[in-house]
Structure 1
Amino acid sequence: MKTFHLDFAHPVPGSTPHQSIHRVSWQGAAVMGILNVTPDSFSDGGKHFQLEAVVDSARKMLERGALVLDVGGESTRPGADPVNAQEEIRRVVPAIEALQDLNVLISIDTMKPEVARAALLAGAHIVNDVNGLGDPEMIRVCAEHGAPAVIMHMQGEPRTMQKKPHYQDVVSEVKGFLFQQAEKALAAGVPSVMLDPGIGFGKTLEHNLNLIRHLSDLEPYGVLLGVSRKKMIDLIADVPEAKNRDAGSIAVHLFGIEQGAAMVRVHDVEGHLQALKVWTALKGQ
């Protein structure tokens, strides 16, 4: 079973000192729980729009085994309208502050450097950027705050990304972009990175399947895979309602872990942890 890690410039929950950095390590695949503090996310929009609900859901995810909680204040579903930075900060900062007593690793899911900065100052630890650190200022924010970054690939932008996705070679193009951004970030002082191929972000079903089958091409970096309740489950198994796609999500994530994924980003933490424990036992690990 592989060991993965994230490095931070400052102490964070669960870290151990490692020379001049602090390291969080895990074996096999870790689980990142999704906390969308938005009214319009495709699966759970509005569910966590009240702080009491945020803290309650976060506590349950932690009790069930999540390593990281990913807080997002702007929906990036296909066709979603953008949210300005002030509104996004208004949504995420109170949620992050409310989670401080839980002593948990918190990721801020944002494309905006000003939102990332506000979230890190409020107590977040990781920046999860669906824009793949495309804004140089985002790299500077991560470096200044000693925060690791999740670098995701997206073709286009959320409102139009699914209209006509096109690649000559999706695996090599996505890999090339992610490796280029990772090298920029590390050279600029970001302590560590994870790579996310961006399933469903400017990709057809065949593009998505091809990327998942070749996750090992993204080594030696740790890979974050996020397929939870996405449209590809419906396209494969005819499940129109997003809330009913957890079984298909678990199947894809287990396959992705077999290909080397270090972390999976999920809505159903309990179901994924149960499946992971059984799957790991069957493999004798």
Structure 2
Amino acid sequence: MNGRPLVLGRREFSPEELVVMAIINRTPDSFFDRGANFTDQAAMAAVERAVAAGAAIVDIGGVKAGPGAEVTAEEEAARTVPFVAEVRASFPHVVVSVDTWRAEVGDAVCRAGADVLNDAWGGVDPGLAEVAARHRAGLVCTHAGHRPVRPRTRPHRVGYDDVMADILEVVVGLAERAAALGVPRESILIDPGHDFGKNTRHSLEATRRLGEMTATDWPVLVSLSNKDFVGETLDLPVDERLLGTLAATAVSAWLGARVYRAHQVAETRQVLDMVAAIRGTREPSVARRGLA
């Protein structure tokens, strides 16, 4: 596990803290919630529930990750910028992250109060890291497959001689570049990019070998929630993948990942608290058994 504190916005997280990042999709075609949080009212209610359930970070996205209708930068900004400002005002101590690959959107959301730019597409727009540096914002550096990466595309017969070696080369390179540009080192995370540019076996291997990522100088974020690698492993549809997701979450926590991007916050929080208690970095909430 990386031994440095993680500093995001106004929050500092110790190396022992396991942090939940709640997914708030501002899209009408999300693969999981199918547009449930597209309206401002529904999205704010989702933020309130997530924070109450234990999320320290909310990750706001304005474009579906997979293929779908084109969303211009202007439309993405319209979906995210005013909402970021609203969340920032309503939850001053919550870390606000925005899932975007576009530098112009990143600049707009940082001006509205975002603390983190979650670049799920592996630096396809190199200007995004420059924006993060200019605003002193955090940055998530993700492995999204072979270069050049095309956002919102699915992998097709992709292959790696060594998938973890490829992941490490890409994300460490992106992280070092971001730090050289001026993004605070304590605010940079790396993400193996489950499903992005990978088939199910690649994502399983990335999970199994996550310790190689956590052994680097960078804190690791994992985005496992209800993804296809879980669905294909268990042959289950999207709405039946929670248990598989939580199993992958527990393994990732044991191997040292520090931030968990999740749809189901309360369940994820319980798994992380249990792993931390087993590891010895968290006390049980109560201790009665055998003491009376």
In the alignment, is residue 143 of structure 1 matched against residue 133 of structure 2? yes
Structure 2 counterparts to residues 203-218 of structure 1, below 5 A: 203-218=198-213
**Equivalent residue for 2:288?**
none
In the alignment, is residue 183 of structure 1 matched against residue 162 of structure 2? no
Using the alignment, how far apart are the partners of 2:2 and 2:217 within structure 1?
Answer: 11
**Equivalent residue for 1:163?**
156
In the alignment, is residue 222 of structure 1 matched against residue 219 of structure 2? yes
**Equivalent residue for 1:246?**
242
Contact 2:121 2:151 in 1 (8 A): no
Q: Which residue of the other structure, out of 63, 69, 85, is the alignment partner of 1:97?
A: 85
Q: Which residue of the other structure, out of 171, 177, 196, is the alignment partner of 1:201?
A: 196
Using the alignment, how far apart are the partners of 1:280 and 1:37 within structure 2?
Answer: 32
SS of match in other structure, 2:6: strand
- Structure 1 unaligned runs (5+)? 15-22
Contact 1:4 1:28 in 2 (8 A): no
Give me the TM-score of the superposition, normalised by structure 2: 0.88
Using the alignment, how far apart are the partners of 1:216 and 1:51 within structure 2?
Answer: 39
SS of match in other structure, 1:118: helix
Contact 2:249 2:271 in 1 (8 A): no
Contact 1:51 1:98 in 2 (8 A): no
Offset, 1:2: 6.7
Using the alignment, how far apart are the partners of 1:87 and 1:59 within structure 2?
Answer: 24
Over the matched positions of the two proteins, sequence identity in percent amounts to: 33
Deviations 1:235-284 (A, max 9, x none): 111211x1221111111011011111011100000011122223333343
Using the alignment, how far apart are the partners of 1:255 and 1:80 within structure 2?
Answer: 32
Which deviates more from structure 2 when the two are superposed, residues 131-140 or residues 225-234?
Answer: 131-140
SS of match in other structure, 1:149: strand
**Equivalent residue for 1:6?**
6
Give me the TM-score of the superposition, normalised by structure 1: 0.90
Deviations 1:181-221 (A, max 9, x none): 11111011011310001000010111111111111222221
In the alignment, is residue 152 of structure 1 matched against residue 149 of structure 2? no
Contact 1:226 1:265 in 2 (8 A): yes
Q: Give the letter aligned to residue 252 of structure 1.
A: A
In the alignment, is residue 123 of structure 1 matched against residue 118 of structure 2? no
In the alignment, is residue 279 of structure 1 matched against residue 275 of structure 2? yes
Offset, 1:5: 2.9
Using the alignment, how far apart are the partners of 2:73 and 2:65 within structure 1?
Answer: 14
Over 3 Å counting, the alpha-carbon distance change for 1:160 and 1:132 in structure 2 is closer
**Between Structure 1 and Structure 2, how many residues are aligned?**
272
Offset, 1:33: 0.4
Offset, 1:158: 4.4
Using the alignment, how far apart are the partners of 1:4 and 1:68 within structure 2?
Answer: 18
Which deviates more from structure 2 when the two are superposed, residues 106-115 or residues 268-277?
Answer: 268-277
**Equivalent residue for 2:284?**
none
Alignment RMSD, CA only? 1.7
